[in-house]
Amino acid sequence: MAVQTVHTTSASDESGTGTVDLGPAAALSCRECGERFALGPIFACESCFGPLEVAYDLPDDGPDALKKRIAEGPDNIWRYAPLLPVPADVAAHPSTNPGFTKLVRADNLARELGITGELHVKDDSGNPTHSFKDRVVAIAVEAARAFGFTTLSCSSTGNLAGAVGAAAARAGFRSCVFIPHDLEQGKVVMAAVYGGELVGIEGNYDDVNRFCSELIGDPLGEGWGFVNVNLRPYYGEGSKTLAYEICEQLGWRLPDQIVIPIASGSQLTKIDKGLRELVKLGLVEDRPYKIFGAQAEGCSPVSTAFKAGHDVVRPQKPNTIAKSLAIGNPADGPYVLDIARRTGGAVEDVNDEQVVDAIKLLARTEGIFAETAGGVTVGVTRKLIEDGRLDPALTTVVLNTGDGLKTLDAVSPTTGPTATIRPSLDAFRAAGLAS
Amino acid sequence: MAVQTVHTTSASDESGTGTVDLGPAAALSCRECGERFALGPIFACESCFGPLEVAYDLPDDGPDALKKRIAEGPDNIWRYAPLLPVPADVAAHPSTNPGFTKLVRADNLARELGITGELHVKDDSGNPTHSFKDRVVAIAVEAARAFGFTTLSCSSTGNLAGAVGAAAARAGFRSCVFIPHDLEQGKVVMAAVYGGELVGIEGNYDDVNRFCSELIGDPLGEGWGFVNVNLRPYYGEGSKTLAYEICEQLGWRLPDQIVIPIASGSQLTKIDKGLRELVKLGLVEDRPYKIFGAQAEGCSPVSTAFKAGHDVVRPQKPNTIAKSLAIGNPADGPYVLDIARRTGGAVEDVNDEQVVDAIKLLARTEGIFAETAGGVTVGVTRKLIEDGRLDPALTTVVLNTGDGLKTLDAVSPTTGPTATIRPSLDAFRAAGLAS
């Protein structure tokens, strides 16, 4: 098994001893069987092959003291260091310092959607490389540092490659990132400009992934931290910061409803984990919240399973413009189904035309230009309001996880000048645009 | 004169009475002859045709009280409302809420440049539409609101159009923006996606500008606030917030040296104005600072005048990849020359190849992907260090005013995969990239 090989060949000095300092992170535990492992660059249970996640010794100095520590922290994810698998002095490490992005009160959008309660957009396009990936990568960098890795790597179709390239450059790591060889030029430039190695793989994303798995098990990959493979348990925890920020920005209050995009499903499950931690720590009042997952119709394995009442997610071959969500076999799909059902939420999907309409709706009402994933969440919100599953009178938060500049192709065929005229007042008058 | 026409036909009810509430803004004053005018949508002196700027009654409650008010304000430019031409309750108005972008301590870049003191990059790519234009537009929106305008407009080659579109959408204004008809598709999409009117003008940027001047003097343009024409005195003040933020983020301390890009020159002159205000208010200790202006060689009218010892700037026909700086006849050129000479700074330029090298240098060392304007400032910084005009032992701040995603074409010809291989370990080994 590649998994065990990684465990015993990479960073074995530290991973076996339990002396790694990742702050409140106490161990890794299996999400299926609960078995615990020392902190290390491993990602699957040795007993049952279930996914591993970080288990914590969370602070017990009471909610008021903790809120004060957080408020005194920096304006980025490191303010939540006491709740993350990072050392206490993390804010002093070189990092892209993502997070604490805007929670935008979206009254104009609310009016258009018929929402009478509070509507907020959590806008992660404000991160350093303009997607939420900066959050998860920043945490993975700290794990890589703790485990003695000197090269950061990943398989990616774009956003992640840019986030890894930028974070590695800033933090002084070598990086070597793998992408399908036929990506759009813009994404290739973003992945290459930070000066790390960028390798195009002749094949599709699945081929890239398979190749990376081979590399992890081979001496060629020794000393390499693959942020979304052997560092995945740490990496995933970065998404908890979205939950923390939303609640803090609401004045330490849980939202009633939250709409989250689903790619692997990891982000949704970690946001739920973060919300439950805040309740447990007494930072927010314990009351019900509903979690809604959003997919594009052209890659909707979780939505399909939800609607059919299944516990198992059947893989799909993706065909949608929402490429950052196009994972046909989402690893955390079953956990997403659990959470949507447990909280009384749902998983829904919208087609590509609805995605484009929703991107434009958000831009027109709030001045936020979202990537396709943001079109998916706004589009699904509209659908859920229309069929009554989302209560318009409550407090709702919708996530935008990326930037429209990265997915221009989605809107460019239908977005352009109102008119093109000669530079004269007569021509302008004839165009009928004067107020 | 179109100027007077605007003054007396637009928003005349308010502009003549002096009852407009723009906070500490007391009047407009002529930068040439000093004559004062009531606050209104005017931009040139009726006596000498000199440019108007905002004159203030600044707060006199002492530096400590003011620092406290600022610290208690929001994490955006409105924290500086007591120093800006905006009403006291501005933070409650719908706005894109730009500003308080990261001041990045750039130790890696400093090492490469041979800087032994503190080097910081003020990274304005973190603004809502990813350029510093969000700052100036946000202030113009408040002026437009105060003067009763209902349509926001501008002439633009890209960044400004996006900033106006987003701000208008969010703040509930109609927008009608004018661009040359042959812009790159990406910039057209950014200008159009927010749903305002976008008019392509058959001609170049100069033709667009001329057309806008005609429109301001015509009844067709009544009720229109052109952010960079009849609202320009207010708009320009937005750049002061860069000075405020830099000093606050340095712990209420002036930098020793600051490198600023020059397009019209307005940003540089307003940053200097902001720094002097902070000294006057006692928020920072009064000590010398040097201001350096940065241009691209292909559009370097101010740099050329500086080197020749001239007080007058001779217009140039722009030919550079740094299109956001390509103003051949910069309105504030003479003021820039004054400031560079008064502070002991300089104005320098770099060629397009040096711009591209500098973009890559910043990306590789700090994980910041700058637009071409950022390549200009970093490139000029390197040049000034090499020839000894910038002291490497002092505290230096370099501005990045935009985002690399908007000027991909500058780096794409020389930025791509290190290798493209089949998905096999043998192929990877042969590529020689293993650690």
CB contacts of B193 in chain A (<8 Å) are 359-360, 363, 369, 404, 411, 415
**Which CATH number goes with the domain that contains A284?**
3.40.50.1100
Do the strands B396-400 and B119-123 form a parallel or antiparallel pair, or are they unpaired? Answer: parallel
- The per-residue pLDDT for A16 is 44
Least confident range from A203-212, A336-345, B98-107: namely A203-212
Given B207, B235, B263, the domain boundary residue is B235
The count of residues in chain B is 435
Do A136 and A33 reside in the same domain of the chain? yes
User: Does residue A5 register a pLDDT over 70?
Assistant: no
Considering the domain boundaries, does residue A70 fall inside one?
Answer: no
Same domain, residue pair B215 and B299: no
- Same domain for B83 and B108: no
A430 part of a folded domain: no
Claim to verify: residue B186 and residue B46 sit in the same structural domain: yes
Q: Is B202 on the interface with A (CB under 8 A)?
A: yes
Among candidate residues B235, B254, B288, the one where a domain is terminated:
B235
Task: Give pLDDT, residue A15.
Answer: 42
Inside any domain, residue A224: yes
Among A235, A270, A285, the domain boundary falls at A235
Residues B341 and B202 both lie in one domain: no
Choose, out of B216, B361, B415, B429, the residue to mutate when testing the contact with A (most A CBs < 10 Å): B415
Strand-pair category, A36-37 with A25-30: antiparallel
**Buried b or exposed e, range B252-275, using 16+ CB within 10 angstroms:** ebbbbbbbbbbbbbbbbbbbbbbb
Does residue A340 share a domain with residue A213?
no
Q: What is the mean pLDDT of chain A?
A: 93
Q: Phi/psi class of residue A201: alpha, beta or left (left: φ > 0; alpha: ψ in -120 to 50)?
A: beta
Residues within 8 A of A (CB atoms), B 347-406 only: 359-360, 363-369, 403-406
Query: Per the domain annotation, does A85 fall within a domain?
Result: no
In Å, how far is A339's CA from the nearest CA of chain B? 32
Same domain, B250 and B188: no
The list of chain B residues with pLDDT below 70 reads 1-18, 435
Whether residue A313 lies inside any domain: the answer is: yes
B109: nearest CA partner in chain A: A170
Residues of B with Cβ-Cβ distance to A424 under 8 angstroms: 211, 214
Query: What is d(CA B211, CA A429) in angstroms, rounded to the nearest whole number?
Result: 13
If you average pLDDT over residues A128-157, what whole number do you get?
96
Q: Within this chain, do residues B243 and B229 fall inside the same structural domain, yes or no? A: no
Closest chain B residue to A219, measured at CA = B434
Please tell me whether residues B170 and B83 are part of one structural domain: no
Residues B15 and B118 grouped into a single domain: no
Single-letter amino acid, residue B392:
P
pLDDT at B19: 79
Residue at A320 is within a domain:
yes
CA distance B134 to B124: 9
Give the pLDDT of residue B182. 85
Q: Is residue B155 part of a domain?
A: yes
Say if B4 is an interface residue toward chain A (CB within 8 Å).
Answer: no
The residue range of the domain holding B393 is 103-130+237-414
Q: Which residues does chain B have within 8 Å of residue A190's beta carbon, measured at their own beta carbons?
A: 369, 404-405
Residue A406 to residue B404, Cβ atoms within 8 A: no
CA distance A149 to A14: 11
More confidently predicted of A15 and B176: B176
Residue A220's CB is within 10 A of a number of other CB atoms, namely 15
Chains A–B, number of C-beta pairs less than 8 Å apart: 247
CB-based contact A189 B366, cutoff 8 Å: no
Interchain CB contact of A128 with B (< 8 Å): yes
CB-based contact (8 Å) between B119 and chain A? no
Asked if the structure places residue B178 within a domain, the reply is yes
Q: Indicate yes or no: CB of B418 within 8 angstroms of CB of A199.
A: yes
B428–A130: do the CB atoms touch at under 8 Å?
Answer: no
ipTM, two decimals: 0.94
Q: B179 to chain A, minimum CA–CA distance in Å? A: 9
State the DSSP H helix or E strand holding residue B362, giving kind and residue range, or none if neither.
helix B352-366
A14–chain B nearest CA distance, Å: 20
| Total domains, chain A | 2
Q: Is the C-alpha dihedral spanning A192, A235, B111, B109 positive or negative?
A: positive
Residue A435 confidence (pLDDT): 63
Same domain (yes/no): B210, B333: no
Residue of B203 and A69 predicted with greater confidence: A69
- Residue A14: the pLDDT is 41
Give yes or no: residues B407 and B304 share one domain.
yes
Are A405 and B403 in contact (CB < 8 Å)?
yes
How far A397 CA lies from chain B's nearest CA (Å)?
18
| pLDDT tens column, A163-190 | 999 999 999 999 999 999 988 778 899 9
CB contact B174 to A (< 8 Å): yes
**Residue numbers in A near B224 (CB within 8 A):** 435
